[in-house]
Amino acid sequence: MKRPLPRHSRRHAALVMLLAAAAAAAAPADPRWPVLRPADGNAPLPGTGPLGLTGDVSRLLVETNDRFLDQRVAAVSAERAARWQQEAASGLDPAAAAAAHRARLRRRLGIGRDPQAASPEFEFHGAHKEGPLAAGPGVRVHAVRWPAFGDVHGDGLLIEPDGADGTPVADLVLLPDADQPPEDLAGLAAAAPAASAHALRLARAGCRVLVPGLVARTINAHKMTDREWLHRPAFELGRHLLGYEIQKAISGVDALLASQGASRRKVGIAGWGEGGLIALYAAALDERIGAALVSGYFGPREALWMEPAEHTVFGLLAEFGDAEIASLVAPRPLALESGCAPDFAFRPGPDGGIERLDRPAALNGKPGRFHRPSADAVAAETARLRRLVGDRGPIASCTSARPFGDAAVAALLEGLGAPRPAGGATSPDGAPAGPAVDPARIAANRAARVAEIERHNRAVLVDSAAEREAYFRDLKTGSLAEFRATIEPYRERFRTEVIGDFEVPLAPPNPRSRPFQAGPATLSYEVVLDVMPGTLAYGILTLPAGLDPARGPRRPVVVCQHGLEGTPRDVVGEAKHGAYAAFATRLAERGYVTFAPQNGYLGHDLFRLQQFKAQSIGRTLFSIIVAQHRQITDWLASLPFVDPDRIAFYGLSYGGKTAMRVPPLVGRYGLTICSGDFNEWVWKNAATDARSLRYSYASRQEYEIFEWDLGGTFNYAEMAALICPRPFMVERGHFDGVAPDEAVAAEFAKVRRLYQARLGIGDRCAIEWFAGPHAIHGVGTGEFLDRHLRPDAPLR
């Protein structure tokens, strides 16, 4: 406890404070910051209504975005269910319809982007290449691996029946949960209960059983699970960890079929938890799989955003729920087992939810929980499945407190034409004899799975530039007219396939405003507009002093965009946000009208989880932001003091990220400046080598930053092509930690080549390098704005 100051000390301290305050009042104002004060009165901007909102309007915008996304997820899911029911009742050929759905599901999972192993065969490996790892009673256990795709292999255990005639009655891929090593299912792990030795039961029932290993949920040095660590770059590159593991399972089916010899028999698949997910998808995609068992996974999927990051499949819910995916298994037998989902959560929250913090978290990964639906929810999803399938295929619905219960296994084996195992679910009849399983070997196998996919992701990153070049092969640059015509299909793909568009008409803007602050040369208003139903746009409009808001004259506008966790106040003049250099106010002092909008990347987990809600239905945070900027620019263009043909965008950091995504889709932006963000964006997101991690988001807390398949479509040079032929500029500080100068220069060189070498409009493209950090510099950019926005300089 602090002791009170003596009376004379208190008098001295008060005197010091008084003198300091007087000195501060007498000192000249810091010239770096505009002198601003609250504006007088409460009269709104002419032509707008009064703004009566109280509290934090920036936070309100984020919260309304969240509610809008919840509504859109529900609406998209309802539309999907109705569309599938109509298809089922339409008389269309079910096989043809299913083939089309399978093709689209493969694309969403990135399957087919990498060459699948042509003729995979089992390779017996480890310390027991010449013989079984363990044997008896009635089984032989081998450590195996097999080629899957690229240079990636599947690995696990192959358990063969060792009966009288030695010929299996069926082959089976049995997938454990992610945190279960294959040895658990083979009865070889000392710590595993005997009841988990499901592969032994099935082998003793006459099945040859392949138990692949999955990537575990180990929390690594990057403060996330190994599964999320591999998912992040794969997602950016148009691949998917789930797709990788599905391909491993399907290649395992290939290897089983290739090793059957003359005895042709059915191949089935079964899985629990994460393995249940892989089994469901693999059975839906591969018609050679004769029967499937999905344990601890099936249920409604509308809360996909609450699941682990690697469950996110871009646009999944627009076409598929679990019922729709399971319907693709028909007419083959399918057993669904509920009541036994894994109890896994990363960053768990209260009441069985996930952590949602309004501050940085201790861990870097996305909060996520493996979905454990109620019995009623599973029943409802199963009923949807039965309505879709009708009488086209047998569906067994079972409940069990443990995975692979007797009823589910019996249904699977019946579908494969194999006998029911003797002894029931809890009687594996003794473990095979062999050396004790070394925990270090299990850990080494897990590390090898991670390392192999890491190497594959890195190779795909290297190849991604060629993928983008092939993607843009139809772009013509022989003339400006030819370029304008051929860039439009790419803009449409960017709108619908990368950013996503809700296709919801904008509401009347219903502008409301109130005075905010005034300076010697400026006057600002807070403004709120309606956008899509239930959403709003909010920002600060700043006018040069003396400009008549009722009559003008018309001035050019610069929309000044804040960065991550920012607000409009940051860019108009709060000294604690020094990186912005009050650029919205400074530009108004130069004679521009400025508008500083609130973008929705505020609130840490709140906004980051919104990205996953949006991605589940094929949209992104920028789907909302684009709509807000369309409304903002349309409203600005309607004002009597704004020149509607001279509206520019200038953003720093996440505002620079906005500069690369919004102006391509908002036609009223006639000029764009990207500050503190332009770089080799695909590399920045997908690079995982030690040297690149200084810059890469792959290991950072921005778990929402990853966008589906930018690697194969749009890096920053390609996004800039969507802005072209409008003027485009990059502002770059040499000491900005976003990326090294070399990465910025190399990517910008592609933009410069388009503008100058191909189209002959090099005067519309510029970069300013300055000796400074991640900040607004405002020198070259001011000159660029003046050159292109003055009345005698046409923008188009």
Nearest-angstrom CA–CA distance, 503 and 332 = 38
State residue 382's pLDDT score: 98
pLDDT in tens, 499-517: 999 999 999 999 999 999 9
**SS3 state at 375:** helix
Over 70: is that where the pLDDT of 195 sits?
Answer: no
Q: Note the pLDDT of residue 666.
A: 98
List Cβ neighbours of 177 (8 Å cut-off, separation of 6 or more).
Answer: 214, 272, 273, 274, 275, 296, 342, 403
Asked if pLDDT for residue 624 goes beyond 50, the answer is yes
Confidence of residue 597 (pLDDT cuts 50, 70, 90): very high
Is it the case that residue 584 has pLDDT exceeding 60?
Answer: yes
Q: Between β-strands 642-652 and 37-38, what pairing exists: parallel, antiparallel or unpaired? A: unpaired
Please give the mean pLDDT across all residues of the chain: 92
Residues 460-481: tens digit of each pLDDT: 999 999 999 999 999 999 999 9
381 pLDDT higher than 60:
yes
Q: What pLDDT is stored for residue 796 in this prediction?
A: 37
H-type alpha helices, 48-158: 57-89, 94-109
Confidence of residue 257 (pLDDT cuts 50, 70, 90): very high
Three-class SS of residue 396? strand
With bands split at pLDDT 50, 70 and 90, how would you rate the model's confidence at 20?
Answer: very low
Rounded to whole angstroms, the Cα distance separating 237 from 709 reads 5
Per the document, the length of the chain is 796
* pLDDT of 21 strictly over 70: no
Q: Which residues contact 87 (CB under 8 A, 6 or more apart)?
A: 97
Token pair 């390609």 is found at 718
Side-chain half-sphere exposure of 391, counting CA atoms within 13 A:
0
The C-alpha atoms of residue 318 and residue 484 are separated, in whole angstroms, by 31
Chain segment 637-689, per-residue pLDDT in tens: 999 999 999 999 999 999 999 999 999 999 999 999 999 999 999 999 999 99
* Mean of pLDDT values over 736-755: 98
Token reading at 410 = 């019996």
- Which residues touch 23 (CB under 8 Å, ≥6 apart)? none
Give the global pTM.
Answer: 0.93
Question: Residue 755 pLDDT > 90, yes or no?
Answer: yes
In the chain, % of residues over pLDDT 70: 91
Condensed to tens digits (0 to 9), the pLDDT of residues 77-135 reads 999 999 999 998 888 888 999 999 999 999 999 999 999 999 999 998 765 566 788 88
Tokens of 15: 């005197």
Note the pLDDT of residue 424.
Answer: 52
Region 561-576: mean pLDDT is 91
Tens of pLDDT, residue by residue over 149-173, are: 999 999 999 999 986 567 899 999 9
- Burial (CB count within 10 angstroms: exposed 0-12, middle 13-18, buried 19+), residue 233: buried
Residue 7: predicted pLDDT: 38
**Strand, helix or coil at 220?**
coil
Non-local (6+) Cβ contacts of 685 within 8 A are: 232, 233, 236, 696, 697, 698, 705, 706, 707, 710
- The CA-CA-CA angle for residues 175, 177, 181, to 5°, reads 80
Instruction: Return the number of other C-beta atoms located less than 10 Å from residue 672's C-beta.
Output: 27
Q: What is the pLDDT of residues 262-298, one digit of tens each?
A: 888 999 999 999 999 999 999 999 999 999 999 999 9
> What digits encode the pLDDT tens for the residues 321-366?
999 999 999 999 999 999 999 999 999 998 889 999 999 999 999 9
What gap in Å lies between CA 538 and CA 160, rounded to an integer?
Answer: 66
- The pLDDT > 90 percentage for the chain reads 83
What is the pLDDT, as a whole number, of residue 233? 98
Q: What pLDDT does 128 receive?
A: 52
Q: How confident is the model at residue 138 (pLDDT cuts 50, 70, 90)?
A: confident
Asked if the model's pLDDT at residue 783 lies above 60, the reply is: yes
Q: pLDDT category, 435, cuts 50, 70, 90?
A: low
